[in-house]
Every structure is written in structure tokens, then in C-alpha cells.
Structure 1
Amino acid sequence: MDFRMLGNSLNELLKLENEPVAIKWSVRPPQNVEKEEGKSRFCAKLQKAINGAVFYSTLEEEECMGGARYSGLKDMGEYPANVQSGAFMIPNGLFKDIPAVQRSRENEEYINPGIFSAILFSPLNKAEFDPDVVFLACNAQQGMEILHANAYDSGEHGLGADAAPVCSSMAAAPYMTGKVTYGFGDVGARSNMDVEPGEIMVSIPASALSRIVSNLSQMRTKRFFKEE
């Protein structure tokens, strides 16, 4: 499957302003991709790829505890008690109390730790690897059309992620569930990325991308989705 060609088709059909990002988990560091220089948060890595960077990252380059945990690079049990409990989030206004943090985490997907040692990031139109997940920052109209294309031949609904951490909702969730996910991003991601106030986020399991692009193309011939 030519994912770069699919990415170009997706850009053309939706007139995207931001390049989709290809994400891939790897059990070992790749030999043909440069390692990220310095540390950054998972969400910032997405922005780097939107801006054109191609790289891989390991635990050493992950600056965010959540990014390391949700992406499967570190076990939650390795963190201190105030991180495991979520107590550190309360003074920052993310949650009112520890029970709220714990309940929230029960609904958040994460990659099982101890399997992968590297994560690859690339603009989809430059990806020389087959991604696991394709991430997009787009406007609401474009997001709706992706979700409709997903349902077009399957009747399947995407997973709404509200304001969950993007390393969970836009990376781990589509990987672990195989479902298209959509949401608004979390406060940390929106401050670390060049996301416009009106933009939303959508992630597509790479295995569904060809079908969704094909459906979008068919939908463009129908009355409700024809371009004026």
C-alpha cells in the first residue's frame, strides 16, 4: 500500500492545511531514520512532523511523563507515587481531586509497556515506512467528512475523545482499538502545538486509510458532498 499516495489523495479531497502525520511503533530503533535531537513532548513531536520533520524517538527523547506512559515507552509503576496517583495534576487545575484523576485514567488507552523501544514520526507524504496510525489536525468540516467516510460503507462510529491527552486519545486509542478517534486535544497539547482555536484532531488506524480515502472519493460524486 502506497501511504504517501493515499496522503496526497487525502490532502486533495479535503484541502487540508496541515500535513497528516504518520506514526509507527517499533521494537527496535530504525536504521534508516534519524533520531530526534533533544527532548520534546509527544504532542510537540506531532507538530514537528506536521512541519516536515522525519525522525524517531525513544524514552530518552520523551520529555512528558504522560507521553512516555501512554505511548508504551515507560511503565506507570516506575513513576513516583504522586505521579501514579495524579496528585501533581491538582495544583495545576487539571483535576479537582485524586479520585477524578483515577476515574479519568480508567477510560484512557495506553500502549502496553516493554514491547516497543522507538516511535517513528513523519509527514505522511514523506513516510518511507508503513504507519500504524495517521494523525490529523483539521477543521470541523474536514473532521466530519473523515468520520462520515469511515461510516459510509461500514456504519461504524468513531470514538469521541473529548479533552483526553493526545498521546492516549490520538495515538494509543486508534492503535489499540482499531477505530477512528476524534477530539479537541488536551490543554497541554494545544499549548505545545500550532493548533488554531477552531481546529480539532482526528486519528485514523492506517489499516483503514485506503478505505476512507476511497469512500471520500465516492462521496464527492454525491449531492451532499459535491464541491461547489
Structure 2
Amino acid sequence: DDDNCFGKMVMGMIEKPPLAASGQAGKDFGVFRTQAANARLYHSITTLTPGAVNFVVFCPLHMCEFEPDLVLFVADIPQADVLMRATSYISGDLWQSTASCVLSCAWLFGHPYVSGKVNYTISGLGHGMRRRKVYPSGRMLISVPFAKLSEVIEALGQMDWELIAMKEDDESRAELRDRMDRWQEVSPDFVLKE
């Protein structure tokens, strides 16, 4: 009930407010040069069918008493590196962020719910989140559809959280060198410059 952004619109809980959908607000905030540039977002943002969603619950995952449609992670860059790699470790899925400078948090709900794909944004880039001081700048907000969560958890259990190429110890560097030396068997002309 205390929502004063457009999350409810993306969830199909309210109609697109005429002032916002006209693009005037984005122009007046100085985010867009013209009303039309802002208005186009309201034609392209993924919105759910009106009336299909009646409530949204935010809670720590371990406290969730049902299977959520989406799991939202807030992470610093090192944590996000591990999590994002886990989203593609098994599937090879590309990382694609679908977002905009306004409605940035809203893209974390409708788009991944409908597409079934992970979506992310970085706090501090979106006008509304930054103006409302929702998160400190530089946090990754990563939305994972629940159907993909088991794959991400499996990947986290299998993969090295710290890549061997990033390790500084002698044993890891020697192992990496051995692996890279074997590349020459596959492609004798390949030379990796460090």
C-alpha cells in the first residue's frame, strides 16, 4: 500500500498512470529530452496481465513458506561475479540485462517472470531507486526465475567460486600453466599473451 513507484503497474495491479505513460514525468525530471522518448518505455516494458497478480511478498528465501516466482539477490560485485557465473555455468546462457534509466527495478519483476530469463541491473543507474536511496550505488540486483534456481544452486555446488586464473598461489598458477600448455596440442599456433 505504501508503493509510490510503478512496480504495481508492471505487475498488472494498476493501469498505466496517464501522466507517466504520456512520458511527461520523465521529460520534467530531465531524464529524457522529449516526452515521446519516455513514453516509448511504457509500450515496451513487460507487464503482467491486469488482475493476475494480487500481492507481492518480499522476505529472506529461508523464511519463504512457498515457492516464489522470482528470487531477487542484492550483491556486491564479488558476490555477483559468483552468482552470475552460476546462472550460465551449466546452461551457457548469455548474461543479458533488460533495463532502462527509469522503471529500473520494475524490469526485475515482469521481464524475468514472463521470459523465464535472469535479469539484472546495478543500483545507482536507475533514476527512481537512486532518488529514493533504495540501495547504495554499485550493488547488483539479480532476479532469478524460480524454475532456474535449482540449476543455479547446482552450479554453485559444482563450480570453483574463485577462478583459477584469478588465484595468486604457486600451486594454482602451476596448474593453470599445465592446462594452458595442453592448448598447444589442440592449436599449435595459439599464443596467449599474459
TM-score calculated relative to the size of structure 2: 0.74
RMSD of aligned residue pairs (Cα, Å): 2.5
For the 8 Å contact 1:158–1:179, the answer to whether it is kept is no
Are 2:139 and 1:177 equivalent residues in the alignment? Answer: no
1:214 aligns with 154
Query: Which amino acid is 1:215 matched to?
Result: A
Query: Which amino acid is 1:223 matched to?
Result: I
The change in CA–CA distance for 1:198 and 1:83 in structure 2 (over 3 A counts) is closer
Query: Which amino acid is 2:59 matched to?
Result: S
Residue range with higher mean Cα deviation, 114-123 or 125-134 = 114-123
Alignment of 1:17-166 (within 5 A): 39-41=1-3, 63-64=4-5, 66-76=6-16, 79-80=17-18, 82-162=19-99, 163-166=101-104
Question: Could you tell me the percent identity over the aligned residues?
Answer: 26
For the residue of structure 1 that corresponds to 2:84, the secondary structure is: helix
2: CA distance between counterparts of 1:113 and 1:225? Answer: 48
For residue 130 of structure 1, report the CA deviation from its aligned partner: 1.0
Specify which structure has the higher proportion of strand.
Answer: 1
For the 8 Å contact 2:68–2:146, the answer to whether it is kept is yes
Give the number of equivalent residue pairs: 165
Alignment of 1:185-224 (within 5 A): 185=123, 186-220=126-160, 223-224=164-165
1: CA distance between counterparts of 2:45 and 2:81? Answer: 23
Structure 1 unaligned residues grouped into runs of 5+: 1-38, 42-62
1: CA distance between counterparts of 2:134 and 2:56? Answer: 21
Structure 2 unaligned residues grouped into runs of 5+: 170-194
TM-score calculated relative to the size of structure 1: 0.64
CA-to-aligned-CA distance 1:177-223 (integer Å, 9 cap, x gap): 10011112422123435422221211100111111011022112763
Structure with larger Rg: 2
The change in CA–CA distance for 1:197 and 1:142 in structure 2 (over 3 A counts) is same
Query: Which amino acid is 1:181 matched to?
Result: N
